[in-house]
Amino acid sequence: MAKNILILNQTRMGDLVQCTPLIAGLRRKHPDARITLAVNKSFEEFARKIPHLDELVLFDITQYNDRDWGREVIWVTLAKYLKAWLDTLRAKQFDMVVNLSHSFLSAYMIKYLRIPEARGFCCNEEGNRKTEHPWFQYFFTEPMNRAYNTFNLVDIFGRGGDIEPVVHGLRVDHGAEDEEAVADLLKAQGLDKNELVIGIQAGSSIADRRWPASRFAELVDRLIENHNARIILFGVKSEMELAEQIYGSSRYPAKIANLCGKTSITQLIGMLKRCRYLVTNDTGTMHIAAALNVRIVGLFFAHAHPHETGPFSEGDIIFRANIPCAPCSYQVHCSNVVCIDKVQARHVEAMISGHIHTGRWEVPDFMKNLPEMDLLESGFDEEGYLAFKPLIRHPLNIETLFAQAYRRMWRDHLQEVREHPTLDSMKAITRFLEQHFIIDEGNFPLKAVQEKRKELENLIRLVSDGRMVSEKLMSVYRERGFDKPRIQALGERIAGIDNAIRKAGLTHPELNPLCDMFDRRKENFEGEDLLDLAGKTQECYRKFEMEARSLYEIIGFITEFLVGRRMEMGQAEVSSSRMAVPGR
């Protein structure tokens, strides 16, 4: 059991909020441990509101941004500061570190600190990257396979810390001091405690993710006209111009409190607690609101992906576009962000209006058949993972089918729960798909699924060959020593198999998550001991093969079950033993 734990989180405020369940889980699992959080100084005020911490260590590299010194002096000074900061941490003798950052700087920090147990992004003695813990390995493969990921960042952080998925939500310390901090603001704005208050967070860290100011202004006017709502505009100083556009475009400025750039974190928390709803892009403010149980209406465009960074809470909704290119790849800068046009102010106001009157998210008739808009409601599944259910039913596509299959497979294998999925777990997938998607003879992607399943079968054979060649290489080395011609020939066969695996992943995106995980595991290889490296290679192939077989089995079950349901409703019992899994 760990006694001295360091958590390194040097990203954005939203990521800080999202790591609070991990910290709470570590406290439950290691009740006597000392837990230290290392964070950028710019987020100090919020970090001090994170519960279960024993110490906060601030990293202040930005203090050197505005110096007028020459370039050489800046780097020397910066290096001295960095070494002194790291030496201070090293002296604390941590026995466990969880790195929630994903920069090479953070990886080098972890290496320098020489902490016995590391989780997350780090590097080896040569400075090459490696990733410790299966869930963090998955985390670094996900950006290239976003269509097939359904795990929220909070769940990934928790599993990476070996924390069981216990639904407690995000954590932020709040109390009377927040109310006191906003007393003058409330009085100045004339906000009554009985009024319907709706918050608006129009900015975001990436401009392409923002719903237009004109759309927000229209929504504000609709909410004021139809519900006599009071509106609070939130944001940081850099977003003040955006807030002014909304304020200036509204027909009811007297009903709007423009607090953009005018609140501390404590005041932000206090004002959010006064809101019944927050309409927001994908922002840190959204995650704070989720921690405060404010109902969230999220707007996710461009790179924003609700499954990754949606609110870790129950009963919130997310609007997004249902178009093939959404969400954008992280490597893409879109010159025509058409996804933003799919969500109109009347759509958002209609959902809020229904919730005000019924307390439920109910889709009005005029929105039920919008082919290019998705509407998702957040909740937690039977195992405690965050899950989004679609409120608008669309035809089932192959990406969704594979995404749900991967969700089951990764949960079983990354935590080494079981080798094969249970019948009940596969039935749960089919129930989810039947309930929330349109599945009929005209749109079920049967042919495409069968083709991909055939390619998966080929991939399983390829990986099995790799495992056997690795075993052969170890056998040859044990029996003959370094038989160069024989060892070289077997090594070339392994290289050829690995190239074929990479080609399969690039050719068939549905299979690429498996292939990327294989690559990520191989990055952790260290040393020059041939027998040791061959053994690690064999183990990588073995895990790949188990995961691929499991995915093959799940896809087969889903397909047979749904096709059977389509042919004759009521005869839905299908035994997994009828699935022809290669090698079984």
Handedness of CA 311, 315, 320, 325 (dihedral sign): positive
Give the HSE-up count for residue 187: Cα atoms under 13 Å, Cβ half-sphere: 6
The CATH superfamily of 176-392 is Glycogen Phosphorylase B; (3.40.50.2000)
Give the HSE-up count for residue 427: Cα atoms under 13 Å, Cβ half-sphere: 8
Listed in order, strand segments (DSSP E) in 342-415 are: 373-380, 386-390, 394-395
- What burial letters (b/e) apply to 238-262, b meaning 16+ CB within 10 Å? ebbebbebbbeebeeeebbbbbbbb
Res 216: pLDDT: 97
Q: Phi, psi at residue 46, to the nearest 5°?
A: -70, -40
Give me the chain's average pLDDT, please: 92
- Residues 469-522 have pLDDT tens digits of 999 999 999 998 888 999 999 999 999 999 999 999 999 999 999 999 999 999
Residue intervals of the chain classified under CATH 3.40.50.2000 are: 4-160, 176-392
- Residues 159-204 have pLDDT tens digits of 999 998 876 789 999 888 888 889 888 888 888 888 999 999 999 8
Res 207: pLDDT: 78
CA 513 centroid distance within chain: 15
Residue with tokens 């006191």: 180
pTM of the model: 0.93
CATH 3.40.50.970 fits 4-160, yes or no: no
Rounded to the nearest 5 degrees, what angle is found at the Cα of 548, between the Cα atoms of 546 and 551? 110
Tokens of 14: 């939203």
Tokens of 51: 């519960």
- Residues 401-438 have pLDDT tens digits of 999 999 999 999 998 777 789 999 999 999 999 999 99
**C-alpha span between 167 and 194 (Å, rounded):** 31
Q: Quick one: which of 349, 353, 361, 355 has its CA closest to 219?
A: 349
Residues 6+ positions from 75 with CB-CB distance below 8 Å: none
**C-alpha span between 158 and 153 (Å, rounded):** 9
**C-alpha span between 465 and 582 (Å, rounded):** 13
CA 576 to each of CA 86, 383, 562: distance values in angstroms, whole numbers, following the listed order: 54, 22, 13
Q: Phi, psi at residue 388, to the nearest 5°?
A: -110, 130
DSSP string covering 41-102, please? Answer: GGGHHHHTT-TT-SEEEEE-GGGGTT--S-HHHHHHHHHHHHHHHHHHHHTT--SEEEE---
Helix, strand, coil % over all residues of the chain, rounded to 5: 55, 15, 35
Kind and range of the H or E run holding 110: helix 104-113
How many helices (H) and strands (E) would you count in the chain? Answer: 21, 16
Res 313: pLDDT: 96
- Which whole number is the average pLDDT over 261-287? 96
Which band of pLDDT confidence, cut at 50, 70 and 90, is reported for residue 578?
Answer: very low
CA 516 to each of CA 14, 193, 550: distance values in angstroms, whole numbers, following the listed order: 27, 52, 17
